[in-house]
Amino acid sequence: MKIALGSDHGGVDLKAAIKKHLLDAGHEVVDFGTDSHESCDYPLIAEPAAKAVAAGDCERGILVCGTGIGIGIAANKVPGIRAALCHDTFSARASRNHNNANILTMGQRVIGEGLALDIVDVWLASDFEGGRHERRVGEIADIEKKYQ
């Protein structure tokens, strides 16, 4: 799977661990930065990564900041993105099964590396269930269209 990956300075260490984990698992990674602990602005990372997912250049995305909140808010401003903040495997699975989330966000200051990698694995292995959830995802898209 081709995955967009990005973080700000607050998530750079976890991003590096996730990148290694993804590459070791045979995934293709498009890294949108940063690779530095120097302060940077997460919207400048989130937008191009989210655009790559929305355009279909990457199948999914994973974004990390200190909490996972800000980078997810920024990613969700890109039409077609359904970024989900997940700090447990149940939410990761549900975000895919029920919401067809196409970007996973996490916070380096919130969870440890081991749990984060488990979340990544569960999220990538989970599929959208469709059915009644398809209607709801469509309704989300309809709201988005009203404001474009």
Residue in the block written with tokens 């607050």: 10
User: Which amino acids are annotated catalytic?
Assistant: 65, 98
C-alpha closest to that of 43 among 8, 86, 19: 8
Contact 65, 8 (CB under 8 A): yes
**φ, ψ for residue 51, nearest 5 deg:** -60, -40
The number of C-alpha atoms within 13 Å of 68 and in the hemisphere containing its C-beta is 21
Which tokens in the block code for residue 30? 């498009």
Contact 65, 10 (CB under 8 A): yes
Q: Give the number of other CB atoms < 10 A from CB of residue 146.
A: 6
